[in-house]
């Protein structure tokens, strides 16, 4: 979060000052990328760019403080994700032949770098896979994006109480799933049987 200087950064961004946009980008891009990955968004890096471009285009329409700004940005991200999924359903992607993929891999990407960067994201995605879509959205907005419950309610167009209940169910499911991973045979016996 930018903090106390947010109003100055926002005013400078509206003037087009490069330092202000750099500050906004550094604050939002990593969190947006993490949230989009946790939502299994198609091509999350591209969606981050699209979201930030829309923020640049529509900044003059925004009014409010930093908390409202972050909610506004994540609302844009969520809407872009939904739009992208709809587009992908209407226009299925083209499959590549194995030879094409090998040539693309030889073109310069270091797969080991991608593997190292994705470890924590993959683990997060695996944990979140067992949740409902609503639980996944609420928990990632809360803990990846850092939004409050009220801000989550705004982004998701739900009541505050609904968000609280979804968060509670999601955390309970995550705890159960994480316990199952840590103690895979715990459900087979009870303490009285040991």
pLDDT (tens digit per residue) in 129-152: 788 889 988 988 888 888 899 999
Res 189: pLDDT: 43
Q: Give the mean model confidence (pLDDT) for residues 8-22.
A: 92
Res 114: pLDDT: 42
Please indicate whether residue 121 or residue 9 has the higher confidence score (pLDDT).
Answer: 9
Res 121: pLDDT: 60
Please indicate whether residue 145 or residue 68 has the higher confidence score (pLDDT).
Answer: 68
Q: Give the mean model confidence (pLDDT) for residues 61-67.
A: 91
Q: Give the mean model confidence (pLDDT) for residues 81-104.
A: 66
**Closest CA relative to residue 29, chosen from 9, 53, 64:** 53
pLDDT score of 106 more than 80: no
pLDDT score of 119 more than 50: no
pLDDT score of 118 more than 50: no
User: How many residues are recorded in the chain?
Assistant: 194
> pTM of the entire structure?
0.57
Q: Give the mean model confidence (pLDDT) for residues 76-95.
A: 80
The answer to whether domain 3-91+114-182 has CATH 1.25.40 is no
């Amino acid at each position: 979060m930018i903090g106390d200087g947010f109003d100055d950064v926002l005013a400078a961004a509206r003037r087009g000052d490069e330092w202000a946009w750099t500050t906004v980008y550094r604050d939002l891009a990593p969190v947006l990328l993490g949230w989009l990955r946790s939502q299994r968004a198609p091509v999350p890096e591209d969606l981050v760019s699209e979201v930030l471009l829309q923020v640049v285009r529509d900044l003059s329409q925004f009014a409010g403080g930093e908390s409202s700004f972050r909610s506004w940005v994540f609302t844009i991200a969520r809407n872009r994700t939904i739009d992208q999924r709809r587009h992908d359903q209407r226009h299925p992607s083209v499959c590549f032949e194995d030879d094409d993929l090998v040539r693309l891999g030889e073109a310069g990407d270091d797969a080991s770098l991608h593997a190292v960067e994705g470890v924590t994201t993959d683990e997060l995605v695996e944990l979140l896979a067992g949740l409902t879509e609503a639980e996944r959205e609420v928990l990632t907005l809360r803990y990846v994006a850092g939004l409050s419950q009220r801000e989550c309610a705004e982004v998701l167009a739900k009541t505050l109480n609904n968000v609280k209940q979804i968060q509670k169910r999601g955390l309970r499911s995550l705890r159960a799933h994480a316990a199952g991973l840590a103690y895979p045979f715990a459900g087979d016996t009870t303490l009285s049987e040991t």
